[in-house]
Amino acid sequence: MVRPIDRHPSILGTLDWWTIIIYLALLIFGWISVCGASYTYGDTDIFSLSTRSGMQIVWIGTSICLGFVILMLDDRYYDTFSYAIYAGMLLLLFATIFNPHEIKGSRSWLVLGPLRLQPAEFAKFATALAVAKLMSKYGFSLQRGKDFLAAGIIVVLPMLFIVAQKETGSALVYLSFFLVFYREGMPGSILFTGIAMIVYFVVGIRFEAIHLWNTPTSIGKFVVLLLVQIFSAGMVYSYCANKGKTLHLLLASLVLTAAALGVSKYVFAFDVVWLLLASTAAFVCYFLYQALRTRLTNYLYIALFTLGSVGFFYSADYVLNHVMEPHQRVRINVLLGLEQDLAGAGYNVHQSEIAIGSGGLKGKGFLNGTQTKLKFVPEQDTDFIFCTVGEEEGFIGSASVLLLFLALILRLIHLAERQTFAFGRIYGYCVLSIFLFHLFINVGMVLGLTPVIGIPLPFFSYGGSSLWGFTLLLFIFLRIDAGRNRTRM
């Protein structure tokens, strides 16, 4: 007699307990950090609900209950109701724009009596479900413009609503979905273009005011335009498979630039940037000519990349200096090292660096951090909570926390790769990308390496919305993973 296939294996037997253990460890370390960051000399009860450490216990408890409820639901619900959940969350985000409560200049919070919720934190899992649902559809391909546009719209819509709530930092998190797109077949040229734009902006703005060899040539503009030509020549090799043309373009660019620099330095001083602009325009004309002659559309795309790179750099420079508000411009200048402003835009980062540096190798001990206890670091139990880890637990504690996050990231990669259905794999990589973005940006801004955009550190920053949001993201994936071998009807 043939035994029937078990269509409903025990959830306890299929659940990934290693990830659960890492999750619980992060919650414990997170509570210790919130306690250290919010503790004030003289407090007698850190467990009282009148303190932030006490309330964080409530958020942790409710998060664990939320995770349990998610695990009890059928994993197929998340696939079936993906679009409905996404549509409902979009409506909530849209309604939040018009709420009358403004907290710290942002309208991103819904106030329900004593409870405050931030829908932007929950929109992440809803967007991840919708992206996974769309991209797992039969015949879907990011190589097709129509499919790529549809996936892009799903990601961009919540971003627009969140920006309208004056919560730009939370909106930028959605850029992490493009890492998923790349994993699932998005052309590498799109990701490369995004990275190139960041390089142009940072290098160009950072060194724009510095002149090369006492000539009128701006180092920032000079380097950016030279990089545009080098990148464009490299794309000819990558996408047109023409090594000869690549070498000729690189040689022409470097020889002409070197000759112009020599003339500017030793004969008569002039701005070499103008010559680079002219030669870049020549590059564009050459690519257009090759596109017409060879009928290869890749040459047309390279021409658009070259032209767009120059246009982006000069428009970014204009926006920074003539469109952005003064406080926004100061933040960018502080990040790029153009200004100090230790009493203004650079104050948070400066105090955070002092707190982390003062921790040394082993730290000052639990509740013994002076920078955090004396409240020198603003937002030290939310966006800047990692500085508390550095001050109280030192380098060893900070490294341990980062290793714990690394273990979570590696585990998520393993779980995503073992999925038997595209929906689970894509959703898993969405979760992974969101966690990576939060971790990299949050720790980076505390160390002064990335912009201060105000996003929480997963499972560490104080607050219910972020903790519930990250729990939803993770436990939905754990439930999908637990049902990966389910027999589908």
pLDDT digit string (tens) for the chain, length 489 residues: 344 444 556 777 789 999 999 999 999 999 999 998 887 766 667 888 888 888 999 999 999 999 999 999 999 999 999 999 999 999 999 988 887 667 666 777 787 766 778 899 999 999 999 999 999 999 999 989 899 999 999 999 999 999 888 888 888 899 999 999 999 989 888 888 988 998 998 888 888 888 888 888 999 999 999 999 999 999 999 888 889 999 999 999 999 999 999 999 888 889 999 999 999 999 999 999 999 998 889 999 999 999 999 999 999 878 877 777 776 677 677 667 666 655 555 677 778 888 888 888 888 888 888 777 777 777 788 888 999 899 999 999 999 999 999 999 999 999 999 999 999 999 999 999 999 999 999 999 888 888 778 889 999 999 889 999 999 999 999 999 998 876 554
Give the count of beta carbons closer than 10 Å to the beta carbon of residue 430.
Answer: 28
- The residues near 248 (Cβ < 8 Å, ≥ 6 apart) are none
User: Helices 422-446 and 347-358, interaxial angle, to 10°?
Assistant: 90
Whole-number Å distance between alpha carbons of 375 and 379: 9
217-243, pLDDT tens digit by residue?
999 999 999 999 999 999 999 888 889
φ/ψ region of 456 (left if φ > 0, alpha if ψ in -120 to 50, else beta) reads beta
Per-residue pLDDT, 257: 94
State the pTM of this model. 0.86
Whole-number Å distance between alpha carbons of 233 and 439: 35
Paired strand residues for 112: 115
Q: Are 313 and 183 within 8 A, CB to CB?
A: no
Per-residue pLDDT, 5: 45
Q: Which run of H or of E encompasses 423? A: helix 422-446
